[in-house]
Every structure is written in structure tokens, then in C-alpha cells.
Amino acid sequence: MFNHSLPKISIIIGVLNMKQYLARALDSIILQEYPNLELIVIDGGSTDGTINVIKQYQHVINYWKSEKDKGHCDACNKGINIATGDLIEFLNADDFLDAGLLHKVASSYKANPQAKIITCGVRIIDKYPNGDSHVIQQLDDTNKLQVSLYNMLFELPVINARFFHKDIFRKFGQFHPTLADGSYNITNDREFFIKLALSNIQSEIINCTFYNYFSHDESLTFSMKNQLRIRHEHINLANNFLNTSSLTSDQQKMFKAWIAKDSAYLFLTYLLQHHFKKAIKSMMQGIKACNCLWFLKMIQVILIGSYRKIMKFITRKFQLDKHQNANLT
């Protein structure tokens, strides 16, 4: 039974060959027990049995379709065209929600009608070799979750932990599935958020952590195999905004600092891989954007990278020892 005093929430799941994860995502929606929900599943032509999982949950899915597409954000765009909710959220097929999130979102929506985006905190979850899960990062700082230009350039956009007012896509358009060369646009969400940040979109933060990202080798965002490509996309994206948008002096500085940071990352990575021509090219991109600032960014990248590796090693060892000790007892 629908409760029309609550906003209608459309959840869009874009999926391709995620048989082992999809049921968990769908179960996390069912556990919300939210009475005014629209669930849309857009499959990109799965061949691993994902369709069978979808059919098992047809009783809770309002619309689903399976056909080849241009990637995940193309599936999201198709879902946007179908969605009829007051709010729209994108749930990755390999992620899941904590119970109670949708009611929290509904309360925030009713209390803050001027907000165009409602956001909750996120966890990034990994697995031990034995299959047990553990949290590797938690982002619940309300300042870092705001839709500001700084956050969209230097923090995670966390698109999936955000609920969008339906009017946003009418005003700002949808995601761009492909780049100029026809390849998939991995950073389409960051591009979209930069446009929102430059427009000073109003957002509201739920001070709770409810969204769970699952980090694994097939993940577009969290797998290491895509990191170099993502950095190149960032640099091209920054140059595009610098060349085509009316930016303040401070905004220009932020975009140039973004180029400096990611070109420094590329320089150091290519250097370690003995790709010296690519390393020099990356260095020149950074110097062209921000002159001597690039060298400071390179030092910063080295220090932050080293700190994160040390902390990741210590945390992982501590959690693994704790887990092993618990098993022994």
C-alpha cells in the first residue's frame, strides 16, 4: 500500500553480469520497508545468470529491461527517463543500503523542501582473503559530503549516496556515457557534479552512514586497473572547464591544482613503471597548468601516498589479527 504523505523515491540499478551481488542489493531495498518506492533495474545484456536473479525479484521491481547499452551511466540515463519519483537514487548492483535510509531521506525531504540533493555518509567495504568483509574507509564528514567545487575535485563524489530532486535532470541534463573518441566516460558522475557545484546547488546532509560501497577488482571506481585512465580523464575534464566556462579566479586555481595533483600522480606512477616518455608528458601538463605549484603537489602526492599505504597496512594487519584472534576464541 502506498503512503502518499511520503515522497515517492525512485531507485535505479544499472547492472551487467553481477549475479553474485545483485540479490544483496535488492534485499537491502526490501528491508527499507518504504511504502512509496519505485524500483527500476536496467540490465546491459548480462550473460552470467543476472537475469535469473532479476526474475526472482520481479514482485518488487516496477520496471526492468535487458539490452546492450553504452555502459553504466547509459543505464542510469535510461532509468531517469522512466523514473516518476520525487527523488531519484542510483544504487550500484554490487553495493547495498543500511535499513532505515529511505525513511531518513523522506524526513529530510519534508523538512528541507529547498534542498535539491539529500546525502548520507558512506562506507567502502573490502574483503579479506577468507571472504569476510571489513570497512577500509568511512566518509561521514558533513563538510566533505557537501556539493562544493573543492569536494567534487578533491574528494569522492559519492553519487550513489545522494538522492536527487527530479528537477535536477531537467535543468542540468543527464550523464555523458562516452568521450569524444567513443570510449566509456568513467568520470561522468564527477563531470555532472562539477556542473552542479558551479551552480551552487542546495543540498542537505543526513548525519548518518547508510550507503555501502563494495570495493573489488571489477569495480570501475575502486579497482586499481582504472586509476591511470581516471587521472587522464580528470586532466582533460579540468582543461575543458577552464577553456569553456566562466570561472572566478579561485575556481580557476582549484581546477589548476586538480591538474597538478593528478599529473603528479601520473608522473610518479609512470616513472615507477619505467614509462619515461609518459612521465615527462605528465610532468609538462602539470607545469603548464600551474608552474612551480606542480612540484609542491608532487611532494604532497608522495607524502599522502606513503601515509595511506602505511595506514592501510597497519589497519589491515590489526583487523586481520583481531579477526584471527576472534576465530581462535
Q: What is the pLDDT of residues 130-158, one digit of tens each?
A: 566 778 889 999 999 999 999 999 999 99
Asked whether the beta carbons of 126 and 133 are under 8 A apart, the reply is yes
Q: Are residues 103 and 207 in the same domain?
A: yes
Which of 217, 246, 270 is where one domain is finished? 217
Please give the mean pLDDT across all residues of the chain: 88
Q: Do the domain assignments include residue 2? A: no
Which of 19-28, 63-72, 221-230 has the weakest average pLDDT?
A: 221-230
Q: Are residues 205 and 232 in the same domain?
A: no
- Domain that residue 262 falls in: 226-320
SS3 177: coil
HSE on the CB side for 113, CA within 13 Å? 3
d(CA 135, CA 241): 35
Which of 15-29, 82-96, 315-329 has the weakest average pLDDT?
A: 315-329
Q: Are residues 180 and 272 in the same domain?
A: no
- Residue 191 CB neighbours (<10 A): 19
Best CA proximity match to 234, nearest among 285, 305, 169: 285
Q: Do the domain assignments include residue 328? A: no
Which of 18-27, 214-223, 305-314 has the weakest average pLDDT?
A: 305-314
Best CA proximity match to 175, nearest among 74, 67, 42: 74
pLDDT at 329: 52
Q: Are residues 242 and 144 in the same domain?
A: no
pLDDT digits (tens, 9 = 90+) for 246-269: 999 999 999 999 999 999 889 888
Q: Is the pLDDT of residue 310 over 50?
A: no
Place 318 in a pLDDT band, splitting at 50, 70 and 90: low
Q: Are residues 206 and 248 in the same domain?
A: no
Q: Do the domain assignments include residue 3? A: no
Q: Are residues 95 and 133 in the same domain?
A: yes
Place 307 in a pLDDT band, splitting at 50, 70 and 90: very low
Asked whether the beta carbons of 297 and 261 are under 8 A apart, the reply is yes
**Which residue is it, cell 545484456?**
45
Which of 217, 251, 281 is where one domain is finished? 217
Q: Are residues 189 and 305 in the same domain?
A: no
pLDDT at 134: 79
pLDDT at 230: 92
pLDDT at 136: 83
Q: Are residues 44 and 114 in the same domain?
A: yes
Q: Are residues 301 and 187 in the same domain?
A: no
Distance (Å) of CA 108 to CA 17, 102, 116: 34, 10, 11
Asked whether the beta carbons of 236 and 270 are under 8 A apart, the reply is no
Looking at per-residue confidence, does 181 or 122 come out higher? 122
pLDDT at 1: 42
Q: Is the pLDDT of residue 314 over 50?
A: no
Q: Do the domain assignments include residue 327? A: no
Q: Are residues 137 and 190 in the same domain?
A: yes
Q: What's the average model confidence in pLDDT over 225-232?
A: 87
Share of the chain above pLDDT 70, in %: 86
Place 94 in a pLDDT band, splitting at 50, 70 and 90: very high
Q: Are residues 242 and 198 in the same domain?
A: no
pLDDT digits (tens, 9 = 90+) for 284-305: 988 988 887 888 878 877 776 6
Q: Are residues 110 and 159 in the same domain?
A: yes
Q: Is the pLDDT of residue 167 over 60?
A: yes
Asked whether the beta carbons of 66 and 46 are under 8 A apart, the reply is yes
d(CA 178, CA 324): 45
Which of 64-73, 77-86, 283-292, 300-309 has the weakest average pLDDT?
A: 300-309
pLDDT at 126: 83
| CATH label of the domain that carries residue 185 | 3.90.550.10
Q: Do the domain assignments include residue 1? A: no
Place 12 in a pLDDT band, splitting at 50, 70 and 90: very high
Q: Is the pLDDT of residue 245 over 70?
A: yes
Cβ-count burial of 320 within 10 angstroms (0-12 exposed, 13-18 middle, 19+ buried)? middle
d(CA 39, CA 106): 16
pLDDT at 4: 62
Which of 217, 236, 253 is where one domain is finished? 217
Q: Do the domain assignments include residue 27? A: yes
Place 227 in a pLDDT band, splitting at 50, 70 and 90: confident
d(CA 265, CA 277): 15
- Amino acid letter for position 276: F
The total of structural domains in the chain comes to 2
pLDDT at 313: 47
Q: Do the domain assignments include residue 202? A: yes
